[in-house]
Amino acid sequence: MRLRIRIEGKTYEAEVEILDAQASAPEYPPYPPVQPGFVHAVIPEPAVSSQLSASANEKECRSPVAGMVMKVDICPGQRVEPRAVVIVLESMKMEMQITTPRGGVVKSVLVAPGAAVKVDQLMAEFE
């Protein structure tokens, strides 16, 4: 095999012979095959205060995470459909769309774009 090498602007030609390709290759220990594994994920139940009734929870919109309000798509007196996006939060550089569990009329909005919210903070109420 012929090679051409350039060093500091000068060109050199060389003839190279590979004597034993297997002997010059490094030896690596064989890796045992990896058995595919499956781990069941445990999804924690959301912490819900026992003092609140189910009907009160459906009439409130609370923040599921600590973050910043990016967008508010509702105003008091507005009628919303079930599963409508009402507020967009940003937490850890991820946007999260907060939706209504069921339809209704907006009673009050307690946050504005740019506001910081804590976990379980009340953001809006519905009638």
Q: What is the pLDDT of residues 82-102, one digit of tens each?
A: 889 999 999 999 999 999 888
16 lies in some domain: no
Tell me the H-state helices in the chain: 21-24, 54-58
Domain count, the chain: 1
45 lies in some domain: no
Closest CA to 126 of 87, 67, 89, 76: 76
Half-sphere exposure of 106 (CA within 13 A, CB side): 22
27 lies in some domain: no
- The residue range of the domain holding 115 is 57-126
17 lies in some domain: no
pLDDT (0 to 100) of residue 17:
79
Whether residue 37 is predicted with pLDDT greater than 60 in this model: the reply is yes
Model confidence, pTM: 0.56
CATH number where 108 lies = 2.40.50.100
Q: Read off φ and ψ for residue 20, nearest 5 degrees.
A: -145, 100
pLDDT (0 to 100) of residue 56:
52
99 lies in some domain: yes
Burial of 71 (0-12, 13-18, 19+ CB in 10 A): middle
Instruction: Round to whole Å and give the CA distance between 85 and 118.
Output: 19
91 lies in some domain: yes
114 lies in some domain: yes
74 lies in some domain: yes
pLDDT (0 to 100) of residue 35:
73
**Single-letter code of the amino acid located at 20:** D
